[in-house]
Amino acid sequence: MQTGDAAVRVLVIEDDAELAQAIGLGLRRVDMAVDVAPDGTTGLGRVLDTDYDVVVLDRDLPGVHGDEICRRMVETGCRSRVLMLTAAGTMDDLVDGLERGADDYLPKPFDFPVLVARIGALYRRAQPALPPVLRHGDVELDRARHRVRRAGRALDLSPKEFGVLELLLASAGRAVPAEELLERVWDEAADPFTNAVKVTVSRLRTKLGDPPVIETVQRAGYRI
């Protein structure tokens, strides 16, 4: 399953360890970068410290309640979209959650494809509209079909290579720092001192071939 949103950065705040692990694993399989927080206190700290696209938030959390996390996010001007999860499914609960700042609401239990679709919809709502196909010269990246071609030749890219190329193309000539690529395409499990970005860009350049498409900008990162 592909979402077409390879660079989505998601925080899952869920105290049910088994469910949190399943959500994290499933979202990574559709090429999202996922961090997991086991309680409200940890989750709130991460929300205030990191720019996430979407926060999947269990409402009934130990430490800091989900409603309070929503309130703090609104209060601090946090731009992350919130998908609230709850075991309750009444209309009053729905209205209550949305009034506290949630952007969408999903009662438990839920089907995983529905969760992926909701996250993708929230991400697209928060971002400037991008065309379904990104192009630069003879390079063409089809976001929906998860395909890349150069001069009509199909390229076999790994999920990370695809995510890096998508972000660079979407940045329209802006130099993207390696730290931003690491944050957007990988997740908190990535070592901040890793050379993963450098290695991935090198492999991507090899697959794209000549003439070179990706430029290294000294002390600024990479750009198309």
pLDDT bucket at 2, cuts 50 / 70 / 90:
very low
> Among 68, 65, 85, which residue's Cα sits nearest to residue 22?
85
Of the residues 126, 148, 166, the one at which a domain ends: 126
CA distances from 99 to 43, 65, 102, 146 (A): 20, 15, 7, 36
Query: φ and ψ at 214, to 5 degrees?
Result: -100, 125
Model confidence, pTM: 0.62
Chain segment 147-195, per-residue pLDDT in tens: 999 999 999 999 889 989 998 998 878 888 888 888 778 766 666 567 8
Residues 92 and 33 in one domain: yes
Q: Do 121 and 139 belong together in one domain?
A: no
**Residue range of the domain that includes 103:** 9-126
Peptide bond into 192 cis (omega under 30): no
CATH number at residue 144: 1.10.10.10
CB neighbourhood size of 136 (10 A) = 15
Q: Is there a single domain that holds both residue 112 and residue 141? A: no
Q: What percentage of the chain carries pLDDT values higher than 70?
A: 86
Do residues 171 and 79 share a domain? no
Question: pLDDT class for 5, splitting at 50, 70, 90?
Answer: very low
* Backbone φ, ψ for residue 155 (5° rounding): -110, 140
Domain boundary among 106, 126, 146: 126
